[in-house]
Amino acid sequence: MTNVRVRIVAVVAVSIGLALFALGGPRKACSQPVPGGTLDPLTIPKFVTPLVIPPEMPKSTVQPGVPAAAYNIAVRQFKQQILPGGVWNTVNGRSDTFGATTVWSYGRAQDKIPVGFIAPAPLSSNISFNYPAFTVENTSGIMTRVRWINDLVDAKGNYLPHLLPVDQTLHWANPPATGCIDGTNRTECRTFNTAPYTGPVPLVTHVHGAHVNASSDGYPEAWWLPAAKNIPAGYAARGTVFDQFDPRNTVKGSAYFAYENDQPAATLWYHDHTLGITRNNVYAGPAGFWLVRGGANGDAFVDDGTSAALNDGRLPGPAPRAGMGDPNFNAAIRATIREIPVVIQDRSFNADGSLFYPDNRAFFEGLNVSGATPPQFPGAGVLNIPFIPNSDISAIWNPEVFFNTMVVNGTTWPQLESAPARYRLRLLNGCNSRTLNLTLFTVTGAGPDGIMGTADDVLGAEIPFYQIGAEQGFLPQVVMIKTGQYTPLPGNGAIPAGLAAPDPMQALLMGPAERADVIIDFTGLADGTVVRMINTAPDAPFGGFPDAPADIDTTGQVMQFVVKASLIQPGDALTTPPENLVLPAEASLPATVAVRQLTLNEEESTRLCVQAQPDGSITTLFVDPMPLPGFLSACAAAGGMPMGPREAKLGVLVADPMTGMMMSMPMMWADIITEAPVTGTTEIWEIYNLTMDAHPIHPHLVRFEVVDRQPFDMMTFMPSGPAVPPEPYEQGYKDTVLAYPGQITRVKATFDKIGLYVWHCHILEHEDNEMMRPYMVKIDPAFPDVNADGKLAVTDALDLLKKLKSPLLAGAPYDLTGDGTLDVRDVLALLRTIVFGPPR
């Protein structure tokens, strides 16, 4: 997103910078350090804490009520040593004094958190609460039942307020159910209340990438509050469309979901998805991996050593599994692990170790927050503008956020001692807004300052990533990725000439929420070799390369590996070199029955005209009391421009009724549903990006194929160049795709579960302010198979009767009469269809 000021980034000689990377010469910081918080990230020592390996989430042995669930998983507040110090001093022998950080995360509900607890903890403690959360392991085709519990309460049972500033002027969950800007009192609305929300926190969990029934998807308006003793009178305990897979669950402060896992092996993750505060909730910590294994395209390959047969090869393993021992505090067990889920996030901290998240729009503008002590941005100008209700700009919400410290699996800039063997990493970009562009380089020594982890370190050879999968399973071929080059491997040991990446800077590119299943091959590296993961995406909104890379002293570095020969295991010799791997092939999707044309939009103020001053300040020229047709021309005549961005929106491409020309119609969350595929049909969604930034677009429920990308004319919406096929690393099934500025991004998906879902941008700050829309998968009136058993029978009518009580499914998904509601008349229509066939 662009702001009202000219986006100022350091101009760098990209070719020179890449030459330094290639030659291993000393590097200098090439962009300004990212601000945020009172803790200077340069004071945090790098690569002194071990990479935490998330263990498997233990199943529940105690049930809080009926029905029983395999997992009863609660979100709680606790402290964790994210920064160096505390428990890490006992591991590395250092004496760092950084404080622990208060976070939220998931853990097994029966595990009690004692007073004074600081994560991470040994498995012997029987405390599974950790940030990121432990990994939920699943088997393809076997349902997993989870009772999710909102347990954000203190020791006395009173609710805990949010750790971070919540903006109530957005369209958000609004548990107080008062003060909506349209004059009503209800949940899920915008309000004029400009104060940060301090009440009980709503939550609803979404398993990202799950092919799941609608009642368990984590719909943003299906949130619920904790079962606190002091919920204020009048507060809604649940969202408007709260629903459960099993309505028999009456455990207060919880919802009972079930996941069919009827999809191939995949790298999924789970996180909060509450309307209007997802950015706050996820930043506070609750997220973890949800891995699906097995199935028709699972990862139990046969290793016959020939690489001639389908599914030939053995992947690095094992992964951490329940019962095998502690992968973090037991050195012998840790030495055996070869598959590790790795989530990369950017965070900022205050001097006491607490999380920093901006409480003022001035953060995005790069300006000083007036009155802040100490000022967040010393020496910069200020933001002198009126906010809601005196304008249409929210005071707390920031369009994007970029933080100054890299956190990997819950610790800052960690290090993994690695055997000279092959490792499988399940990489996840878990950042709120930041795009990552990852590379691996050996580090041959510290620069003149003698401190490892700073801009003058000397780099040696680049180590490739071997990507074997994306979000929804394996790629057709292993893709070897190095800076500026992608090389699909035939699987017979040959390494052909590589393909040029779209830009010489591009490497392993991951937008927020994208995943990459990769192999890193440390075989042959000498004992003591240091390999560093580096990020060269910008410290700013990403719109494609070239761009200024991240600050190399901070956000340009991610984590480090140190090769240690003593860690070699007998099984390491059995893993297949990535150039010999033959990955399981998947069939393509069925023929397309419909094409939808959708748009990505960014909107500026329609009331507030501002001007940038020489010192960088932004001041108001005038404010219209309401949106007026002549606002833009009047603002330009005054020498100003509309304050922006105000919000981002999804929309549809429609024909202007007057001129017949194509135009974008941006849509709000609460507008009528415009995407309603019939169950079982396959569609292509053409996504026209009218903004200056790349947006990671994620439709719930489906796995999709990226068809192609094509430039278009933003005035006529006509293609302006040839369509380009997806990059090699995008040619497997995905659930999140980067849609670039000025391009049509086409994805193809089959919609096969009836109900209400959403699609949205996964920049969480965008998602929380209107860049999310509901979509609905409708029942096929010609074959209304309600229970999805492949036939029509009275049991379908009985199941439809049960759904009359389900708020999430009420209305159009099962509307057979066309009156927009679900009632007994639809059940009668279904019975007529069963007896007489579909109406003609």
For the segment 94-103, what is each residue's pLDDT rounded down to a tens digit? 999 999 999 9
Q: pLDDT of 700-736, one tens digit each? A: 999 999 999 999 999 999 999 999 999 999 999 999 9
Q: Is the pLDDT of residue 405 over 80?
A: yes
Bond from prior residue into 774 cis (ω within 30 degrees of 0): no
Name the strand (E) or helix (H) holding 19: helix 14-23
Class for domain 594-605+643-777, per CATH? mainly beta
Name the residue with higher pLDDT: 6 or 531. 531
Percentage of the chain beyond pLDDT 70 is 93
* pLDDT at position 628: 87
Of 720, 3, 92, 50, give the one whose Cα is nearest residue 402. Answer: 3
The pLDDT of 653-667, averaged and rounded, is: 93
Domain 14-30+413-580, second-level architecture: Sandwich (2.60)
Could you tell me which residues come within 8 angstroms of residue 813 by beta carbon, excluding any fewer than 6 positions away? 214, 754, 755, 756, 776, 777, 778, 779, 822
Q: What's the predicted TM-score (pTM) here?
A: 0.94
pLDDT of 6 higher than 50: no
Residue 600: enclosing H or E segment and its boundaries?
strand 594-603
Residue 453, pLDDT score: 74
Joined tokens for residue 790: 């492949």
Residue 585 has pLDDT above 50, yes or no: yes
Longest dimension (CA), the chain: 85
Judge whether residue 25 has pLDDT over 60: no
- pLDDT (tens digit per residue) in 106-132: 999 999 999 999 999 999 999 999 999
Residue 18 pLDDT grade (very low, low, confident, very high; cuts 50, 70, 90): very low
Spatial CB neighbours of 34, under 8 Å, sequence gap ≥ 6: 348, 402, 403, 404, 539, 551, 554, 555
Ranking 155-159, 172-176, 310-314, 419-423 by mean pLDDT, the lowest is 310-314
Work out the average pLDDT over 419-439. Answer: 98
Q: How long, in residues, is the chain? A: 840
Q: How far apart are CA 707 and CA 724, in angstroms?
A: 9
Return d(Cα 342, Cα 339) in angstroms, integer: 10
Amino acid 308: pLDDT:
52
Instruction: Describe the strand order of the beta sheet including 662-667 as a list of residue ranges.
Output: 662-667, 647-655, 594-603, 681-689, 743-751, 704-711
pLDDT tens digits for range 293-344? 998 777 766 554 545 555 567 899 999 999 999 999 999 999 999 999 999 9
pLDDT at 300: 66
**Cα–chain-centroid distance for residue 634?**
40
Same fold? 14-30+413-580, 594-605+643-777? yes
Q: Quick one: average pLDDT of 236-257?
A: 96
Helix (H, G, I), strand (E, B) or coil at 376: coil
DSSP 337-356: --EEEEEEEEEEE-TTS-EE
User: Is residue 136 a contact partner of residue 71, using CB atoms and an 8 Å limit?
Assistant: yes
Cis peptide before 722 (omega within 30 of 0): no
pLDDT for residue 305: 55
Q: Are 391 and 607 in contact (CB under 8 A)?
A: yes
Q: What is the per-residue pLDDT for 12? A: 28
The pLDDT score that the predictor gives to residue 32 is 56
Q: Is 5 exposed, middle or buried (0-12, 13-18, 19+ CB in 10 A)?
A: middle
**Separation between Cα atoms, residue 668 and residue 674, nearest integer Å:** 11
pLDDT > 90: what percent of the chain?
Answer: 82
- pLDDT beyond 50 at 21: no
Mean residue pLDDT of the chain comes to 92
Residue 559 C-beta-side C-alpha neighbours within 13 Å: 24
So what's the pLDDT on residue 805? 74
Q: Where are the domains of the chain?
A: 14-30+413-580, 594-605+643-777, 794-836
**Integer distance in angstroms from the first to the last C-alpha of the chain?**
50
Spatial distance between the Cα atoms of 229 and 223, rounded to a whole number of angstroms: 18
